Chain A
């Protein structure tokens, strides 16, 4: 039973480029969450999605960041025109669609470095 998958694990981008981070939830999970962790800090909520729907994006920066979770395929977090301050670990979590829907399990993260 595969856990939450994220790729790439490490991503290096120059300032101004685009970063695309992918997340495949655990089997049977239809709720996906993205969190950001700055170096030596805690995790901050960014966005909560279900298939084809953004449920809560209250933690997403208003510009340059977008997220989607299409009917088929992984969830994508997209960062346009990256800046040095975007360097962080981005974690995806998923939770079941029924039952213990509140239990969130994290993927290994994507460590983004902006040079």
Chain B
């Protein structure tokens, strides 16, 4: 089945700096890669996603890039703000169907 690895597990940045989180996946047939933000005690919230026919997607301060050949995708957050502090999860949907396989999560701390 699909396996998703996520790095780093923790990331501390100064407010205003950029944050980058990287994920790799194993199933070359995977075709959908969402990113979720989860604040403490809250639900995972879909913040951006990318499909396999696209290499990059942007939404204001966040962007996602996908390299299908290398089977990795990344989340970029620019001009970080304290409210960006949360745990971020990458995920992939493999060839098996609709189920999401999640990475282990990255705890992001933005220091004011």
Residues of A with C-beta under 8 A to B105: 41-42
Q: Indicate the size class of the contact surface on chain A.
A: 20 to 34
A43:B102 contact, CB within 8 angstroms: yes
Residue of B whose beta carbon sits closest to that of A102: B32
A44→B45 CA distance, assembly (Å): 16
B1-44, CB under 8 A of A: which get 1 and which 0?
A: 10000000000000000000000000000001010100000111
Size of the chain B interface, CB-CB below 8 angstroms: 22
Q: Could you list 12 A-B pairs, sorted by A, with CB under 8 Å?
A: A33-B100, A41-B104, A42-B102, A43-B89, A45-B99, A45-B100, A48-B99, A55-B97, A104-B34, A104-B98, A105-B46, A108-B42
**Given contacts A48-B97, A56-B98, is CB(A104)–CB(B89) below 8 Å?**
no
A106 part of interface (Cβ distance < 8 Å): yes
Residues of B with C-beta under 8 A to A55: 97-98
